Amino acid sequence: MLIYKIFRRPEWDAFRAAGETAGAPVDVADGYIHFSTAAQVAETASKWFGLESDLVLVAFESDTLGPALKWEPSRGGALFPHLYRPLRLAEVVWDKSLPLGAAGHIFPEGVW
């Protein structure tokens, strides 16, 4: 199952340069890297990145992230994937721009 992480462009560039990341400041503060499923990612984009346009949507295969990936209740009691270790660039399945349109973020075809 693919899960998704939204990065601001500078965060994505830093991740690509370093080869791994502890995540965005909110991830570091919470002690884990926040992900969303396909069913959750549009709401995540709207809630946390509402007016931001220079974003990157990055897909990861949940089964390859190992036992440090935990499914925990969050928004509305839904289970969200949280990774309790640094994320490695080699684990990226794909990355695509996530532009902001007039009606919200424009997701790549095939996310849902």
What is the domain-level CATH number for residue 29?
A: 3.20.170.20
Side-chain half-sphere CA neighbours of 97 within 13 A: 5
Q: Round to whole Å and give the CA distance between 111 and 89.
A: 20
Q: Is residue 60 part of a domain?
A: yes
Per residue in 2-41, pLDDT (tens digit) is 999 999 999 999 999 999 999 999 999 999 999 999 999 9
Is 27 within the bounds of a domain?
yes
Say how many domains are in the chain.
Answer: 1
The structure's pTM equals 0.94
Helices within 32-93 (DSSP H only): 38-49
Q: Is residue 70 part of a domain?
A: yes
pLDDT, tens digit (0-9, with 9 covering 90-100), for 40-89 = 999 999 999 999 999 999 999 999 999 999 999 987 889 999 999 999 99
pLDDT (0 to 100) of residue 111: 87
What is the rounded CA–CA span in Å between residue 96 and residue 75?
Answer: 25
- Decide if 39 is inside a domain: yes
Question: How wide is the angle at C-alpha 30 spanned by C-alphas 96 and 108, nearest 5°?
Answer: 15
Let me know if residue 77 belongs to a domain. Answer: yes
50 falls within a domain: yes
Residue type, 55: L
Q: CB–CB of 12/78 below 8 Å? A: no
Percent of the chain with pLDDT over 90: 90
Provide the residue type at 86 as one letter: P
Q: Which domain holds residue 21?
A: 2-100
pLDDT of 110 higher than 90:
no
